[in-house]
Amino acid sequence: MTPCMTENSPTVTLIGECMVELREEADGRLSRGFGGDVLNTAVYLSRLFGQNSSVRFATIMGDDPYSNELIHAWISEGVDCELVERKKDSRSGLYIIQTDKGGERSFHYWRSAAPAREFMNSDWQILQDKAFDSEWIYLSGISIAILGDDGRERILDALKDAKRKGKKFVFDGNYRPILWDTKTTARNWYEHFWTLSDIALAGSEDESRVFGDKSAEETMNRLLGYGIPEVVVKQGAGPVLLGSLQNQFTIPIKTVSEIIDTTAAGDSFNAGYLYGRLTGLNMCSSAQIGAVLSATVIQYPGAIIPCDNMPDLEAIDLT
C-alpha cells in the first residue's frame, strides 16, 4: 500500500466502542482479536493516511489486561489514543463471531457493563470536550445505541455545539436491533443524527430495517430530503449510490469470487471513502477506493486484515 501523503491531514475523531473479539473456527476453537465498527474504520483510515495520520479514537476502556492489549494494538496501527480513557475496576466488552459457509456472520455479545456506555456521563466531561474539538467527528448507529436516551441527548447537544463552531459530522447508520428497545426508538434517533450529518454513510439493508425503505434509491432520496450535503448508500455486493444536492451517481462493485468473512466490509469502505474525500478526491474516486478496500477485507477472516495485505492505492484506477 502506498498512501497519498498530505502535509496537513485533517483531524478526525471517531467515537465508539471496541471489544475483545473471539472468532469460532471450524474445529470449535476460538481465536482472539479485537473489533468494533468505529474502531475498524479508525484503523483502516489510519493505515491509509500513514505517517500523516490525525485519526483519533475516543472511547472508555477498562483497566483489565485485555483493555491494555487492545490499546497497545491501536497505537501500533498509528491510531491516536489520547482520547481513550480508562475506568477503574472495569473490563472491556466481548463478542463471539460465528461465520456461515457464505461468509455471513452472526454476533453474540457480552457488553452490558462495558465502560464505553458511559462516554457521555458527566464524569467524563473533559474527554467529551476534547473529542468534539476536532475538524471531523464520526459516529455510528452503534455509537449512539449503547449510550441510552440520556447519553444520546447529551451527545446530540454536543454535536450541535460542535457544528456551530464549524466542525463537520459523519454518520454511519450501522444498525443492531438488539441494542434498541424498539425500531421506532431507533428511527426517531437516527432522524436526529442524519439531519445533522455533513456526510451520510448508509447501508441499504440497515435503512430498510429501520425506515422500511423499499430500495436504495428510496433511501437516497429520503436522506437527501434531510438536507444532507453528501450521501453514500451501500448495497453490499451491489453498486454504491452517491448523491449530493446537485447530482447522483452509481459506482459498480467489483465481484469477489471467494468471500471469507464480511466482517468490517462496510467499516473499511467508510475508511476508504473518507480518506479519498479528506485528501481532495471527488465522490466517485473516493467510493472506488472504499470499494477496493472493502473487497480486499472480505477475503480475509476477522475485522482487521494484516497490514501487508492492504491494497495498493496507486494500482486503483480512479478515472
Condensed to tens digits (0 to 9), the pLDDT of residues 152-185 reads 999 999 999 999 999 999 999 999 999 999 999 9
Which of the four pLDDT bands, split at 50, 70 and 90, describes residue 301?
confident
Output the nine-digit C-alpha cell for 49: 493516511
Amino acid 103: pLDDT:
60
Query: Is residue 198 within 8 Å of 226, Cβ to Cβ?
Result: no
Mean pLDDT of the chain: 92
Catalytic residue from among 267, 308, 312, 317:
267
Which of the four pLDDT bands, split at 50, 70 and 90, describes residue 8?
low
Distances (CA, A) of 282 to 40, 74, 279: 23, 29, 9
* Any domain includes 80: yes
* Any domain includes 287: yes
Rounded to an integer, what is the distance from CA 18 to the centroid of its chain? Answer: 11
Closest to 39 (Cα-Cα) out of 57, 60, 23: 57
For 243-259, write each residue's pLDDT tens digit: 998 999 999 888 888 88
For residues 18-37, average pLDDT:
85
Computed from CA positions of residues 108, 109, 110, 112, in that sequence, does the dihedral angle turn out positive or negative? negative
* Any domain includes 196: yes
* Any domain includes 106: yes
Amino acid 1: pLDDT:
43
Q: For residues 140 and 133, what is the distance between their CA atoms, to the nearest angstrom?
A: 18
Amino acid 105: pLDDT:
67
Angle at 248 between CA 193 and CA 170, to 5 degrees: 25
Q: Which domain holds residue 280?
A: 12-312
pLDDT of residue 7 exceeding 60, the answer is: no
For 72-125, write each residue's pLDDT tens digit: 999 999 999 999 999 999 998 898 877 777 666 677 888 888 999 999 999 999
Domain count, the chain: 1
267 is catalytic: yes
Which of the four pLDDT bands, split at 50, 70 and 90, describes residue 307?
very high
* Any domain includes 79: yes
* Any domain includes 250: yes
For 68-87, write each residue's pLDDT tens digit: 999 999 999 999 999 999 99
Amino acid 159: pLDDT:
98
* Any domain includes 162: yes
* Any domain includes 180: yes
Closest to 83 (Cα-Cα) out of 49, 124, 45, 114: 124
pLDDT of residue 305 exceeding 70, the answer is: yes
CATH of the domain at 148: 3.40.1190.20
Distances (CA, A) of 252 to 31, 85, 255, 287, 292: 34, 41, 9, 10, 11
Amino acid 21: pLDDT:
84
Q: For residues 291 and 299, what is the distance between their CA atoms, to the nearest angstrom?
A: 13
Output the nine-digit C-alpha cell for 292: 477496493
pLDDT of residue 197 exceeding 70, the answer is: yes
pLDDT of residue 313 exceeding 50, the answer is: yes
